[in-house]
Amino acid sequence: MARFGLLLTCNGFANQNLASVMLFARAALNKGHEIDHLFLYQDAVYSVAAHTDLPADEPDLASELAQFCQQHAIALLFCITAAEKRGVVSDIRPARAGYIAAGLAEFAMRQVNIDKLVQF
């Protein structure tokens, strides 16, 4: 079986990437594969914002993703530099619960633990 790393680079509120990554992750786990980490980079870090106010009829896929990763012991990391640069997190704006700040160095080091990296 394969061990995957998942990379999100697009804004999850602007497309179906959060839903797609959860579908892929569920299917991979159901087939017996492992997922080491999920890393949010570039505009994908907008999903990390705890202060996002979604309309009542929209699902909160960012929270669902955090719960899914916690349930399956998948490291849910986001690039702190990309998040700070976009004003998503700061000293007064914390990240959403379940998301862990990391740098590109940590992301790079995790690549030795996987067989395949899939980008969304």
Ordered domains of the chain (ranges, CATH)? 3-119 (3.40.1260.10)
Q: What is the pLDDT of residue 14?
A: 79
Give me 9's structure tokens: 């680079």
Distance of CA 61 to the CA centre of its chain: 11
Which of the residues in the chain have pLDDT under 50? none
- Choice among 38, 79, 83, 89 that is catalytic: 79
Instruction: Indicate the pTM of the whole model.
Output: 0.93
What's the rounded Cα separation, in Å, for the pair 15 and 71? 24
Q: Is 119 in contact with 7 (CB distance < 8 Å)?
A: yes
Give me 61's structure tokens: 């896929």
Q: What is the pLDDT of residue 12?
A: 82
Q: What is the pLDDT of residue 54?
A: 74
In the residue annotation, 10 being an active-site residue is answered as no
Q: What is the pLDDT of residue 111?
A: 97
DSSP string, 40-57: E-GGGGGGGBTT----TT
